[in-house]
Amino acid sequence: MKTLPKTKKVGPSRGLGPRYGSTVRKRYVKVITELKKPHRCPQCGFVRVKRESVGVWKCSKCNYTFTGGAYTPVTKLGVVAKRAAKGAPIEETAKAVAAAEEENE
């Protein structure tokens, strides 16, 4: 029996095989690519920030460690939360939260 040459799969979803469905795999790839690429450090400005743990980000240049989103160092909701913590008016915060949530989907 002749088998077709297998094309080598690349990309973050290669370990998943045909599982979970294409929509979920596509979403997974998007999140993982964002996670794996180096991010800019808010402290020194170098693009050396990598994820240390879920929600914990560390800059390999200046060793600055900070918290952020689970898959990206900065989330829209996080920015809104920071603004709210600084004492932004409640209505404005609620509006921003709604806008951020809408953009997530």
Q: What are the residues binding Zn ion (CB under 5 A)? A: 41, 43-44, 59, 61-62, 64
8 A C-beta contact, residue 51 and residue 41 = no
Least distance in angstroms from the C-beta of 65 to Zn ion: 10
CA–CA gap between residue 74 and residue 29 (Å, rounded) = 18
Least distance in angstroms from the C-beta of 31 to Zn ion: 23
Least distance in angstroms from the C-beta of 39 to Zn ion: 10
Please report, in angstroms and rounded to a whole number, the separation of the first and last CA atoms in the chain.
47
Least distance in angstroms from the C-beta of 28 to Zn ion: 28
H or E element at residue 101: helix 90-104
What's the one-letter identity of residue 9?
K
Q: Where are the alpha helices (DSSP H) in 1-105?
A: 22-36, 76-85, 90-104
